């Protein structure tokens, strides 16, 4: 029997509790329903939620990496200043 099956799975909450534009918590990447009903989920359901959260976190991190890989000239948030002379 694996350790995860012996002990109760704790909430992955990190105390940030803000949602992103997709409705997932910015701290733990759970949906609203997953956060509100965590205490009522079975251990198997909790494992599945944690697995989904890990996938969501990887997608967010990959998107952040892609956006940071854009060269400054192509990034409209940070336009380069033209030479004055």
Instruction: Return the higher-pLDDT residue of 32 and 79.
Output: 32
Q: Is residue 71 part of a domain?
A: no
Q: Which residues contact 41 (CB under 8 A, 6 or more apart)?
A: 34, 49
Q: Which domain holds residue 24?
A: 17-62
Q: How many domains does the chain have?
A: 1
Domain-located, residue 54: yes
How far is the C-alpha of 42 from the C-alpha of 38, rounded, in Å? Answer: 9
Tens digit of each residue's pLDDT (9 = 90 or more) over 23-77: 999 999 999 999 999 999 999 999 999 999 999 999 999 998 888 876 665 555 6
Query: Does 5 score more than 90 pLDDT?
Result: no
pLDDT for the residue numbered 74: 56
């Amino acid at each position: 029997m694996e350790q995860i099956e012996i002990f109760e799975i704790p909430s992955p909450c990190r105390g940030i509790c803000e949602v992103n534009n997709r409705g997932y918590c910015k701290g733990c990447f759970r949906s609203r329903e997953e956060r509100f009903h965590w205490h009522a989920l079975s251990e198997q359901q909790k494992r599945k939620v944690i697995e989904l959260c890990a996938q969501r976190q990887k997608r967010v991190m990959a998107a952040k990496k892609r956006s940071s890989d854009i060269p400054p000239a192509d990034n409209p948030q940070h336009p380069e200043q033209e030479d004055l002379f």
